[in-house]
Protein backbone atom coordinates (compact mmCIF):
# COMPACT_ATOMS: atom_id res chain seq x y z
CA UNK A 1 0.00 0.00 0.00
CA UNK A 2 2.65 2.44 0.72
CA UNK A 3 4.70 4.66 -1.48
CA UNK A 4 8.19 4.29 -2.79
CA UNK A 5 11.03 6.31 -1.38
CA UNK A 6 14.33 7.41 -2.81
CA UNK A 7 16.82 7.76 0.02
CA UNK A 8 20.30 8.74 -1.20
CA UNK A 9 22.38 6.81 1.31
CA UNK A 10 26.10 7.19 1.81
CA UNK A 11 28.64 9.39 0.10
CA UNK A 12 31.16 8.73 -2.66
CA UNK A 13 33.85 6.37 -1.51
CA UNK A 14 36.71 8.37 -3.02
CA UNK A 15 37.27 11.76 -4.58
CA UNK A 16 37.80 10.03 -7.90
CA UNK A 17 34.28 8.58 -7.85
CA UNK A 18 32.77 11.94 -6.90
CA UNK A 19 34.59 13.54 -9.79
CA UNK A 20 33.44 10.93 -12.31
CA UNK A 21 32.27 12.87 -15.37
CA UNK A 22 28.52 12.70 -15.89
CA UNK A 23 27.76 13.71 -19.45
CA UNK A 24 24.19 14.99 -19.45
CA UNK A 25 22.27 13.32 -22.25
CA UNK A 26 18.55 13.23 -22.90
CA UNK A 27 17.00 9.85 -22.07
CA UNK A 28 20.14 8.47 -20.40
CA UNK A 29 20.06 7.71 -16.68
CA UNK A 30 23.34 7.35 -14.78
CA UNK A 31 23.28 5.09 -11.72
CA UNK A 32 26.01 4.70 -9.10
CA UNK A 33 25.99 1.28 -7.41
CA UNK A 34 27.54 0.88 -3.95
CA UNK A 35 27.57 -1.57 -1.06
CA UNK A 36 26.42 -0.65 2.48
CA UNK A 37 29.87 0.79 3.24
CA UNK A 38 29.93 3.10 0.21
CA UNK A 39 32.29 0.95 -1.88
CA UNK A 40 31.48 0.71 -5.60
CA UNK A 41 30.19 -2.58 -7.00
CA UNK A 42 31.26 -3.45 -10.52
CA UNK A 43 29.68 -5.93 -12.91
CA UNK A 44 26.01 -5.29 -12.07
CA UNK A 45 23.51 -4.77 -14.90
CA UNK A 46 20.25 -2.87 -14.35
CA UNK A 47 17.02 -2.06 -16.12
CA UNK A 48 15.06 1.13 -15.36
CA UNK A 49 11.35 1.39 -16.04
CA UNK A 50 9.04 -0.59 -18.27
CA UNK A 51 10.47 -0.58 -21.77
CA UNK A 52 13.88 0.64 -20.63
CA UNK A 53 16.95 -1.03 -22.06
CA UNK A 54 19.33 -3.18 -20.02
CA UNK A 55 22.55 -1.45 -19.04
CA UNK A 56 26.02 -2.68 -19.69
CA UNK A 57 27.84 -4.04 -16.66
CA UNK A 58 28.77 -1.41 -14.07
CA UNK A 59 32.34 -0.17 -14.40
CA UNK A 60 34.97 -0.15 -11.67
CA UNK A 61 33.38 2.98 -10.20
CA UNK A 62 30.01 1.22 -9.93
CA UNK A 63 28.55 3.46 -12.64
CA UNK A 64 26.09 2.33 -15.31
CA UNK A 65 24.26 4.26 -18.03
CA UNK A 66 20.72 3.18 -18.89
CA UNK A 67 18.70 4.34 -21.88
CA UNK A 68 15.14 4.96 -20.71
CA UNK A 69 11.96 4.37 -22.67
CA UNK A 70 11.34 7.13 -25.21
CA UNK A 71 8.39 8.66 -23.33
CA UNK A 72 10.18 8.82 -19.97
CA UNK A 73 10.85 12.38 -18.80
CA UNK A 74 12.37 14.03 -15.69
CA UNK A 75 10.12 13.66 -12.68
CA UNK A 76 8.59 10.36 -13.88
CA UNK A 77 8.57 7.49 -11.41
CA UNK A 78 10.44 4.38 -12.54
CA UNK A 79 11.30 0.99 -11.09
CA UNK A 80 14.89 -0.26 -11.00
CA UNK A 81 15.56 -3.95 -11.54
CA UNK A 82 18.74 -5.98 -11.05
CA UNK A 83 19.18 -8.01 -14.23
CA UNK A 84 22.59 -9.58 -13.53
CA UNK A 85 25.45 -9.42 -11.03
CA UNK A 86 28.99 -10.80 -10.89
CA UNK A 87 29.46 -14.55 -10.66
CA UNK A 88 29.58 -15.77 -7.08
CA UNK A 89 27.46 -12.92 -5.75
CA UNK A 90 23.77 -12.82 -4.81
CA UNK A 91 22.79 -9.17 -4.46
CA UNK A 92 19.54 -7.48 -3.43
CA UNK A 93 18.66 -3.79 -3.51
CA UNK A 94 18.14 -1.97 -0.21
CA UNK A 95 18.14 1.59 -1.53
CA UNK A 96 15.84 2.72 -2.99
CA UNK A 97 13.99 0.55 -0.47
CA UNK A 98 11.30 -0.51 -2.94
CA UNK A 99 13.42 -0.17 -6.12
CA UNK A 100 11.55 3.01 -7.11
CA UNK A 101 12.94 6.43 -8.03
CA UNK A 102 12.18 9.69 -9.80
CA UNK A 103 14.02 10.41 -13.03
CA UNK A 104 16.43 13.34 -12.41
CA UNK A 105 16.81 16.28 -14.82
CA UNK A 106 18.78 15.28 -17.90
CA UNK A 107 20.10 18.81 -18.46
CA UNK A 108 21.79 19.09 -15.05
CA UNK A 109 25.06 17.17 -15.03
CA UNK A 110 25.43 17.47 -11.25
CA UNK A 111 22.04 15.88 -10.61
CA UNK A 112 21.74 13.42 -13.48
CA UNK A 113 22.47 10.29 -11.46
CA UNK A 114 20.84 7.99 -8.97
CA UNK A 115 22.60 6.34 -6.01
CA UNK A 116 21.76 2.67 -5.48
CA UNK A 117 22.87 0.45 -2.60
CA UNK A 118 23.04 -3.32 -2.85
CA UNK A 119 23.76 -5.91 -0.17
CA UNK A 120 24.77 -9.54 -0.34
CA UNK A 121 21.82 -11.78 0.44
CA UNK A 122 22.26 -13.30 3.91
CA UNK A 123 24.83 -10.70 5.03
CA UNK A 124 24.05 -10.03 8.71
CA UNK A 125 26.34 -7.01 8.72
CA UNK A 126 23.55 -5.23 6.87
CA UNK A 127 21.49 -5.22 10.07
CA UNK A 128 24.19 -3.21 11.82
CA UNK A 129 23.68 -0.18 9.56
CA UNK A 130 20.86 2.33 9.87
CA UNK A 131 20.72 2.55 6.08
CA UNK A 132 19.77 -1.11 5.83
CA UNK A 133 17.42 -1.26 8.81
CA UNK A 134 15.71 1.93 7.66
CA UNK A 135 15.04 0.37 4.25
CA UNK A 136 13.76 -2.84 5.82
CA UNK A 137 11.53 -0.88 8.23
CA UNK A 138 9.91 0.94 5.30
CA UNK A 139 9.17 -2.40 3.61
CA UNK A 140 7.67 -3.80 6.82
CA UNK A 141 5.53 -0.73 7.49
CA UNK A 142 4.18 -1.01 3.97
CA UNK A 143 3.34 -4.67 4.57
CA UNK A 144 1.33 -3.93 7.72
CA UNK A 145 -0.63 -1.06 6.15
CA UNK A 146 -4.40 -1.43 5.78
CA UNK A 147 -5.48 -2.36 2.28
CA UNK A 148 -9.22 -2.79 2.69
CA UNK A 149 -12.04 -1.46 4.82
CA UNK A 150 -12.26 -4.79 6.66
CA UNK A 151 -8.77 -6.12 7.14
CA UNK A 152 -6.84 -8.84 8.88
CA UNK A 153 -5.12 -8.61 12.23
CA UNK A 154 -2.22 -6.14 12.02
CA UNK A 155 0.07 -8.62 13.78
CA UNK A 156 -0.53 -11.03 10.91
CA UNK A 157 0.45 -8.27 8.51
CA UNK A 158 3.67 -7.77 10.50
CA UNK A 159 4.47 -11.49 10.48
CA UNK A 160 3.67 -11.75 6.79
CA UNK A 161 5.85 -8.75 6.04
CA UNK A 162 8.72 -10.15 8.08
CA UNK A 163 8.44 -13.46 6.24
CA UNK A 164 8.48 -11.71 2.86
CA UNK A 165 11.44 -9.47 3.71
CA UNK A 166 13.24 -12.45 5.25
CA UNK A 167 12.88 -14.37 2.01
CA UNK A 168 14.18 -11.44 -0.01
CA UNK A 169 17.23 -10.53 2.06
CA UNK A 170 18.03 -14.01 3.32
CA UNK A 171 17.98 -13.31 7.06
CA UNK A 172 15.75 -14.69 9.81
CA UNK A 173 12.53 -12.78 10.59
CA UNK A 174 13.38 -12.47 14.26
CA UNK A 175 16.82 -11.04 13.41
CA UNK A 176 15.25 -8.44 11.16
CA UNK A 177 12.57 -7.52 13.71
CA UNK A 178 15.12 -7.13 16.51
CA UNK A 179 17.47 -5.01 14.38
CA UNK A 180 14.68 -2.76 13.09
CA UNK A 181 13.36 -2.15 16.62
CA UNK A 182 16.84 -1.43 17.94
CA UNK A 183 17.65 1.07 15.18
CA UNK A 184 14.34 2.81 15.86
CA UNK A 185 15.45 3.65 19.40
CA UNK A 186 18.49 5.45 17.93
CA UNK A 187 16.50 7.51 15.44
CA UNK A 188 16.73 11.31 15.72
CA UNK A 189 15.32 12.50 12.37
CA UNK A 190 11.52 13.07 12.51
CA UNK A 191 10.96 10.80 9.50
CA UNK A 192 12.99 7.96 10.98
CA UNK A 193 11.35 8.40 14.39
CA UNK A 194 7.90 8.48 12.82
CA UNK A 195 8.60 5.32 10.85
CA UNK A 196 9.90 3.61 13.99
CA UNK A 197 6.70 4.55 15.87
CA UNK A 198 4.60 3.41 12.91
CA UNK A 199 6.33 0.02 12.90
CA UNK A 200 5.64 -0.27 16.64
CA UNK A 201 1.98 0.68 15.96
CA UNK A 202 2.29 3.76 18.19
CA UNK A 203 0.18 5.75 15.77
CA UNK A 204 -0.40 8.93 17.77
CA UNK A 205 3.35 9.44 18.26
CA UNK A 206 3.94 8.54 14.61
CA UNK A 207 1.62 11.31 13.43
CA UNK A 208 3.54 13.92 15.44
CA UNK A 209 6.92 12.98 13.97
CA UNK A 210 5.67 12.39 10.43
CA UNK A 211 3.90 15.76 10.48
CA UNK A 212 7.27 17.34 11.36
CA UNK A 213 8.96 15.36 8.60
CA UNK A 214 6.33 16.34 6.06
CA UNK A 215 6.67 20.03 6.84
CA UNK A 216 10.47 19.84 6.78
CA UNK A 217 10.43 18.16 3.39
CA UNK A 218 7.83 20.50 1.97
CA UNK A 219 10.28 23.34 2.56
CA UNK A 220 12.73 21.60 0.26
CA UNK A 221 10.11 20.18 -2.09
CA UNK A 222 11.81 21.07 -5.34
CA UNK A 223 14.68 18.81 -4.32
CA UNK A 224 12.79 16.12 -2.44
CA UNK A 225 9.37 15.77 -4.06
CA UNK A 226 9.42 11.99 -3.74
CA UNK A 227 10.32 12.26 -0.05
CA UNK A 228 7.34 14.58 0.47
CA UNK A 229 5.08 12.07 -1.25
CA UNK A 230 6.34 9.29 1.00
CA UNK A 231 5.98 11.41 4.13
CA UNK A 232 2.40 12.24 3.13
CA UNK A 233 1.63 8.61 2.36
CA UNK A 234 2.96 7.23 5.62
CA UNK A 235 1.32 10.07 7.57
CA UNK A 236 -1.94 9.17 5.85
CA UNK A 237 -1.48 5.61 7.03
CA UNK A 238 -1.01 6.76 10.62
CA UNK A 239 -4.15 8.94 10.53
CA UNK A 240 -6.05 6.04 8.96
CA UNK A 241 -5.08 3.70 11.79
CA UNK A 242 -6.32 6.30 14.29
CA UNK A 243 -9.67 6.44 12.50
CA UNK A 244 -9.12 10.05 11.38
CA UNK A 245 -10.21 9.32 7.84
CA UNK A 246 -10.67 12.85 6.51
CA UNK A 247 -7.19 13.87 7.64
CA UNK A 248 -5.90 10.62 6.19
CA UNK A 249 -7.55 11.39 2.85
CA UNK A 250 -6.19 14.94 2.78
CA UNK A 251 -2.57 13.85 3.15
CA UNK A 252 -3.02 10.91 0.78
CA UNK A 253 -4.38 13.48 -1.71
CA UNK A 254 -1.13 15.37 -1.30
CA UNK A 255 0.85 12.18 -1.99
CA UNK A 256 -1.29 11.35 -5.03
CA UNK A 257 -0.65 14.80 -6.51
CA UNK A 258 3.06 14.04 -6.49
CA UNK A 259 2.73 10.37 -7.56
CA UNK A 260 -0.45 10.30 -9.66
CA UNK A 261 0.04 6.77 -10.96
CA UNK A 262 0.82 5.00 -7.69
CA UNK A 263 -1.98 2.44 -7.36
CA UNK A 264 -1.47 1.92 -3.64
CA UNK A 265 -1.71 5.62 -2.84
CA UNK A 266 -4.77 5.94 -5.06
CA UNK A 267 -6.39 2.91 -3.41
CA UNK A 268 -5.80 4.24 0.08
CA UNK A 269 -6.90 7.74 -0.93
CA UNK A 270 -10.20 6.37 -2.21
CA UNK A 271 -10.68 4.15 0.83
CA UNK A 272 -10.02 7.05 3.19
CA UNK A 273 -12.56 9.26 1.39
CA UNK A 274 -15.05 6.37 1.55
CA UNK A 275 -14.70 6.02 5.30
CA UNK A 276 -14.80 9.81 5.62
CA UNK A 277 -18.20 9.66 3.93
CA UNK A 278 -17.23 11.66 0.81
CA UNK A 279 -18.21 9.14 -1.85
CA UNK A 280 -17.93 11.53 -4.80
CA UNK A 281 -14.23 12.03 -4.02
CA UNK A 282 -13.70 8.34 -3.27
CA UNK A 283 -14.82 6.83 -6.56
CA UNK A 284 -12.33 8.38 -9.07
CA UNK A 285 -9.08 7.32 -7.31
CA UNK A 286 -10.49 3.84 -6.66
CA UNK A 287 -11.39 3.40 -10.31
CA UNK A 288 -7.95 4.70 -11.32
CA UNK A 289 -6.21 2.28 -8.93
CA UNK A 290 -8.30 -0.61 -10.29
CA UNK A 291 -7.40 0.25 -13.90
CA UNK A 292 -3.68 0.44 -13.08
CA UNK A 293 -3.72 -2.86 -11.22
CA UNK A 294 -5.62 -4.67 -13.93
CA UNK A 295 -3.13 -3.41 -16.51
CA UNK A 296 0.04 -4.16 -14.53
CA UNK A 297 -0.97 -7.25 -12.52
CA UNK A 298 -3.63 -8.89 -14.63
CA UNK A 299 -7.34 -9.24 -13.93
CA UNK A 300 -7.00 -12.16 -11.50
CA UNK A 301 -4.52 -10.75 -8.98
CA UNK A 302 -5.50 -10.41 -5.27
CA UNK A 303 -4.67 -6.68 -5.36
CA UNK A 304 -7.26 -6.33 -8.12
CA UNK A 305 -9.74 -8.08 -5.81
CA UNK A 306 -8.93 -5.51 -3.11
CA UNK A 307 -9.64 -2.67 -5.54
CA UNK A 308 -12.88 -4.30 -6.64
CA UNK A 309 -14.03 -4.63 -3.03
CA UNK A 310 -13.15 -1.05 -2.13
CA UNK A 311 -14.90 0.31 -5.22
CA UNK A 312 -17.89 -1.88 -4.39
CA UNK A 313 -18.05 -0.27 -0.94
CA UNK A 314 -18.48 3.14 -2.58
CA UNK A 315 -21.17 1.89 -4.95
CA UNK A 316 -22.96 0.26 -2.02
CA UNK A 317 -22.82 3.49 -0.03
CA UNK A 318 -24.22 5.30 -3.06
CA UNK A 319 -27.09 2.80 -3.23
CA UNK A 320 -25.93 0.99 -6.40
CA UNK A 321 -26.42 -2.51 -5.02
CA UNK A 322 -26.38 -4.25 -8.40
CA UNK A 323 -23.05 -2.70 -9.38
CA UNK A 324 -21.56 -3.42 -5.96
CA UNK A 325 -22.67 -7.04 -5.99
CA UNK A 326 -21.10 -7.67 -9.38
CA UNK A 327 -17.74 -6.34 -8.15
CA UNK A 328 -17.89 -8.23 -4.84
CA UNK A 329 -18.65 -11.56 -6.47
CA UNK A 330 -15.74 -11.03 -8.84
CA UNK A 331 -13.44 -10.17 -5.92
CA UNK A 332 -14.52 -13.33 -4.10
CA UNK A 333 -13.85 -15.44 -7.19
CA UNK A 334 -10.37 -13.96 -7.61
CA UNK A 335 -9.38 -14.47 -3.97
CA UNK A 336 -10.67 -18.03 -3.81
CA UNK A 337 -8.76 -18.95 -6.96
CA UNK A 338 -5.56 -17.07 -6.18
CA UNK A 339 -5.29 -17.60 -2.41
CA UNK A 340 -7.31 -20.70 -1.57
CA UNK A 341 -10.65 -21.19 0.12
CA UNK A 342 -9.36 -20.69 3.68
CA UNK A 343 -7.37 -17.47 3.25
CA UNK A 344 -8.38 -14.48 5.45
CA UNK A 345 -8.86 -12.39 2.30
CA UNK A 346 -11.58 -14.82 1.29
CA UNK A 347 -13.25 -14.22 4.67
CA UNK A 348 -13.14 -10.47 3.97
CA UNK A 349 -14.75 -10.99 0.55
CA UNK A 350 -17.43 -13.22 2.05
CA UNK A 351 -18.17 -10.67 4.78
CA UNK A 352 -18.46 -7.81 2.30
CA UNK A 353 -20.77 -9.75 0.00
CA UNK A 354 -22.89 -10.96 2.92
CA UNK A 355 -23.26 -7.42 4.23
CA UNK A 356 -24.55 -6.30 0.84
CA UNK A 357 -26.99 -9.22 0.63
CA UNK A 358 -28.26 -8.35 4.10
CA UNK A 359 -28.92 -4.76 3.03
CA UNK A 360 -30.84 -6.12 0.04
CA UNK A 361 -32.94 -8.32 2.34
CA UNK A 362 -31.48 -11.66 1.23
CA UNK A 363 -31.08 -12.90 4.81
CA UNK A 364 -30.59 -16.66 4.22
CA UNK A 365 -27.68 -16.21 1.80
CA UNK A 366 -26.18 -13.47 3.97
CA UNK A 367 -26.29 -15.70 7.02
CA UNK A 368 -24.65 -18.56 5.15
CA UNK A 369 -21.80 -16.34 3.96
CA UNK A 370 -21.29 -14.75 7.40
CA UNK A 371 -21.01 -18.22 8.94
CA UNK A 372 -18.40 -19.31 6.40
CA UNK A 373 -16.48 -16.06 6.82
CA UNK A 374 -16.45 -16.51 10.59
CA UNK A 375 -15.10 -20.06 10.31
CA UNK A 376 -12.23 -18.92 8.09
CA UNK A 377 -11.42 -15.87 10.22
CA UNK A 378 -11.35 -17.77 13.52
CA UNK A 379 -9.15 -20.46 12.02
CA UNK A 380 -6.71 -17.95 10.55
CA UNK A 381 -6.68 -15.11 13.06
CA UNK A 382 -8.33 -16.24 16.29
CA UNK A 383 -11.53 -15.09 17.94
CA UNK A 384 -10.68 -11.55 19.03
CA UNK A 385 -9.12 -9.70 16.08
CA UNK A 386 -10.49 -6.83 13.96
CA UNK A 387 -11.60 -9.13 11.17
CA UNK A 388 -13.67 -11.37 13.42
CA UNK A 389 -15.06 -8.26 15.14
CA UNK A 390 -16.39 -6.94 11.82
CA UNK A 391 -17.90 -10.30 10.88
CA UNK A 392 -19.52 -10.81 14.29
CA UNK A 393 -20.94 -7.29 14.22
CA UNK A 394 -22.60 -7.94 10.88
CA UNK A 395 -23.81 -11.37 12.01
CA UNK A 396 -25.34 -9.81 15.11
CA UNK A 397 -27.14 -7.20 13.00
CA UNK A 398 -28.55 -9.98 10.83
CA UNK A 399 -29.62 -11.97 13.88
CA UNK A 400 -31.32 -8.87 15.27
CA UNK A 401 -33.35 -8.50 12.08
CA UNK A 402 -34.31 -12.16 11.80
CA UNK A 403 -35.39 -12.62 15.42
CA UNK A 404 -34.19 -12.37 19.00
CA UNK A 405 -32.23 -9.73 20.89
CA UNK A 406 -30.33 -11.57 23.62
CA UNK A 407 -27.95 -13.18 21.10
CA UNK A 408 -27.18 -9.92 19.30
CA UNK A 409 -26.67 -8.17 22.64
CA UNK A 410 -23.94 -10.63 23.64
CA UNK A 411 -22.29 -10.43 20.24
CA UNK A 412 -22.32 -6.62 20.15
CA UNK A 413 -20.88 -6.51 23.68
CA UNK A 414 -18.09 -8.86 22.58
CA UNK A 415 -17.38 -6.76 19.48
CA UNK A 416 -17.33 -3.57 21.57
CA UNK A 417 -14.78 -5.06 23.96
CA UNK A 418 -12.55 -6.14 21.02
CA UNK A 419 -12.68 -2.73 19.36
CA UNK A 420 -12.05 -0.82 22.61
CA UNK A 421 -9.05 -3.02 23.40
CA UNK A 422 -7.53 -2.94 19.91
CA UNK A 423 -8.44 0.56 18.76
CA UNK A 424 -8.90 2.66 21.89
CA UNK A 425 -12.03 4.36 23.25
CA UNK A 426 -12.21 7.15 20.65
CA UNK A 427 -12.01 5.18 17.41
CA UNK A 428 -15.04 5.41 15.07
CA UNK A 429 -15.41 1.63 15.10
CA UNK A 430 -16.04 1.91 18.84
CA UNK A 431 -18.72 4.52 18.16
CA UNK A 432 -20.39 2.18 15.69
CA UNK A 433 -20.27 -0.69 18.18
CA UNK A 434 -21.84 1.49 20.88
CA UNK A 435 -24.67 2.47 18.52
CA UNK A 436 -25.31 -1.16 17.58
CA UNK A 437 -25.45 -2.22 21.23
CA UNK A 438 -27.72 0.73 22.07
CA UNK A 439 -30.21 -0.34 19.38
CA UNK A 440 -30.46 -3.81 20.89
CA UNK A 441 -30.88 -2.42 24.41
CA UNK A 442 -33.70 -0.25 23.06
CA UNK A 443 -35.41 -3.35 21.68
CA UNK A 444 -34.99 -5.01 25.10
CA UNK A 445 -36.63 -2.01 26.78
CA UNK A 446 -33.51 -0.65 28.51
CA UNK A 447 -34.05 2.88 27.23
CA UNK A 448 -31.99 4.72 29.82
CA UNK A 449 -28.81 2.79 29.04
CA UNK A 450 -29.53 2.89 25.30
CA UNK A 451 -29.76 6.69 25.41
CA UNK A 452 -26.41 6.94 27.19
CA UNK A 453 -24.74 4.70 24.62
CA UNK A 454 -26.25 6.63 21.70
CA UNK A 455 -24.93 9.87 23.15
CA UNK A 456 -21.47 8.42 23.65
CA UNK A 457 -21.51 6.98 20.11
CA UNK A 458 -22.46 10.35 18.63
CA UNK A 459 -19.72 12.14 20.55
CA UNK A 460 -17.08 9.71 19.25
CA UNK A 461 -18.31 9.73 15.65
CA UNK A 462 -18.72 13.51 15.43
CA UNK A 463 -15.24 14.03 16.82
CA UNK A 464 -13.61 11.38 14.63
CA UNK A 465 -15.58 11.71 11.39
CA UNK A 466 -17.11 15.16 11.54
CA UNK A 467 -20.68 16.30 12.30
CA UNK A 468 -21.95 15.71 8.74
CA UNK A 469 -20.77 12.14 8.21
CA UNK A 470 -23.47 9.68 7.04
CA UNK A 471 -22.65 7.43 10.01
CA UNK A 472 -23.69 10.28 12.33
CA UNK A 473 -26.99 10.49 10.43
CA UNK A 474 -27.52 6.74 10.84
CA UNK A 475 -26.93 6.90 14.61
CA UNK A 476 -29.27 9.89 14.91
CA UNK A 477 -31.92 7.89 13.06
CA UNK A 478 -31.46 4.89 15.36
CA UNK A 479 -31.58 7.09 18.45
CA UNK A 480 -34.77 8.72 17.16
CA UNK A 481 -36.37 5.28 16.90
CA UNK A 482 -35.36 4.63 20.51
CA UNK A 483 -36.80 7.96 21.67
CA UNK A 484 -40.00 7.23 19.77
CA UNK A 485 -40.31 3.88 21.58
CA UNK A 486 -39.89 5.72 24.88
CA UNK A 487 -42.72 8.05 23.93
CA UNK A 488 -40.48 11.09 23.38
CA UNK A 489 -42.02 12.11 20.06
CA UNK A 490 -40.55 15.61 20.10
CA UNK A 491 -37.03 14.31 20.78
CA UNK A 492 -37.36 11.72 18.02
CA UNK A 493 -38.51 14.35 15.53
CA UNK A 494 -35.56 16.60 16.41
CA UNK A 495 -33.03 13.82 15.78
CA UNK A 496 -34.67 12.76 12.51
CA UNK A 497 -34.61 16.33 11.20
CA UNK A 498 -30.90 16.54 12.12
CA UNK A 499 -30.23 13.21 10.39
CA UNK A 500 -32.10 14.27 7.27
CA UNK A 501 -30.16 17.54 7.15
CA UNK A 502 -26.89 15.56 7.07
CA UNK A 503 -28.20 13.34 4.25
CA UNK A 504 -29.18 16.38 2.21
CA UNK A 505 -25.60 17.66 2.49
CA UNK A 506 -23.76 14.42 1.78
CA UNK A 507 -26.02 11.92 -0.02
CA UNK A 508 -28.20 11.87 -3.11
CA UNK A 509 -31.97 12.25 -2.53
CA UNK A 510 -32.63 8.63 -3.53
CA UNK A 511 -29.94 7.12 -1.31
CA UNK A 512 -31.35 4.24 0.81
CA UNK A 513 -30.32 5.88 4.11
CA UNK A 514 -31.86 9.22 3.13
CA UNK A 515 -35.05 7.45 2.06
CA UNK A 516 -35.22 5.46 5.29
CA UNK A 517 -34.88 8.60 7.41
CA UNK A 518 -37.54 10.42 5.38
CA UNK A 519 -39.92 7.46 5.77
CA UNK A 520 -39.33 7.37 9.52
CA UNK A 521 -39.92 11.11 9.80
CA UNK A 522 -43.10 10.97 7.69
CA UNK A 523 -44.44 8.09 9.76
CA UNK A 524 -43.65 9.91 13.00
CA UNK A 525 -45.33 13.11 11.86
CA UNK A 526 -48.46 11.26 10.73
CA UNK A 527 -48.82 9.55 14.12
CA UNK A 528 -48.25 12.78 16.03
CA UNK A 529 -51.04 14.67 14.23
Q: Using one digit for the tens of pLDDT, what is the confidence trace for 257-308?
A: 988 889 999 999 999 999 888 888 999 999 999 999 999 999 999 999 999 9
For 2-58, how does the pLDDT look when each residue is reduced to its tens digit (9 = 90+)? 222 222 222 222 222 233 333 446 778 888 899 888 888 999 999 887 666 888 898
pLDDT at 24: 44
Confidence of residue 108 (pLDDT cuts 50, 70, 90): low
For the segment 461-473, the average pLDDT, to the nearest whole number, is 91
For 300-328, how does the pLDDT look when each residue is reduced to its tens digit (9 = 90+)? 999 999 999 999 999 998 889 999 999 99
For 132-172, how does the pLDDT look when each residue is reduced to its tens digit (9 = 90+)? 999 899 888 887 775 555 555 566 667 778 888 898 899 99
Report CA dihedral (292, 293, 299, 300) to the nearest 10 degrees: 180
Using CA atoms, how far apart are residues 93 and 51, in angstroms rounded to an integer? Answer: 20
For 192-212, how does the pLDDT look when each residue is reduced to its tens digit (9 = 90+)? 999 999 999 899 999 999 999
Domains of the chain: 1-120 (2.60.40), 440-529 (1.25.40.10)
pLDDT at 107: 63
pLDDT at 224: 61
pLDDT at 223: 54
Burial category of 271 from C-beta neighbours within 10 Å (exposed 0-12, middle 13-18, buried 19 and up) = buried
* Chain centroid to CA 509: 31
Query: What is the value of pTM for the model shown?
Result: 0.68
Question: Do residues 61 and 119 lie in contact, with contact meaning Cβ atoms separated by under 8 Å?
Answer: no
The answer to whether the bond into 239 is cis (omega within 30° of 0) is: no
Instruction: Collect all residues with Cβ–Cβ distance below 8 Å to 40 and sequence separation of at least 6.
Output: 13, 17, 32, 33, 34, 58, 60, 61, 62, 63
pLDDT at 457: 95
CA distances from 269 to 213, 214, 285 (A): 20, 17, 7
Using CA atoms, how far apart are residues 512 and 435, in angstroms rounded to an integer? Answer: 19
Question: Do residues 259 and 3 lie in contact, with contact meaning Cβ atoms separated by under 8 Å?
Answer: yes
pLDDT at 11: 25
**Helix extents (H) in 318-343:** 321-339
User: Which run of H or E residues covers position 486?
Assistant: helix 470-486
For the segment 454-458, the average pLDDT, to the nearest whole number, is 95
Report CA dihedral (245, 249, 251, 254) to the nearest 10 degrees: 180
* Chain centroid to CA 238: 10
pLDDT at 17: 27
Residue 74: CA count within 13 A, CB half-sphere: 15
* R_g over Cα of the chain: 26
Order the strands of the 100-102 sheet from edge to edge: 45-48, 77-84, 100-102
> Angle 225-227-230 (CA atoms, 0-180°, nearest 5)?
115
For the segment 323-334, the average pLDDT, to the nearest whole number, is 96
Give the number of residues written for the chain. 529
Strands 28-34 and 114-120: parallel
Using CA atoms, how far apart are residues 350 and 461, in angstroms rounded to an integer? Answer: 27
pLDDT at 9: 26
For the segment 58-63, the average pLDDT, to the nearest whole number, is 87
Report CA dihedral (152, 153, 159, 165) to the nearest 10 degrees: 50
Cβ atoms < 10 Å from Cβ of 89: 12
Share of the chain above pLDDT 90, in %: 48
Whether the pLDDT of residue 61 is over 90: the answer is: no
pLDDT at 60: 85
Amino acid sequence: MMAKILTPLGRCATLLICALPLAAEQGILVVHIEDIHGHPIAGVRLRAGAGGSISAAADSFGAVRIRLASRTKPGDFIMLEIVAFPKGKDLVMISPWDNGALVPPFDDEAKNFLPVKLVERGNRACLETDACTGALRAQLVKAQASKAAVDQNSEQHREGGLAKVSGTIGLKPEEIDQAVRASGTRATDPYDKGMAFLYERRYAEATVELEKSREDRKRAEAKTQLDVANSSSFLGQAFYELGQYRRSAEVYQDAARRKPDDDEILNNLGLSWTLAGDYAKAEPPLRRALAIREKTLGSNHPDVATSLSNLAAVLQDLGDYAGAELLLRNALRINEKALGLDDPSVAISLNNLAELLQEKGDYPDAGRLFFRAQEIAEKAAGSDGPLIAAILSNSAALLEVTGGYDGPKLLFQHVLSINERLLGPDHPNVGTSLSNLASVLKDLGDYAKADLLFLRALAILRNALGPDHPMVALVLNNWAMSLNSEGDISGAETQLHAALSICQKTLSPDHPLAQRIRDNLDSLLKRSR
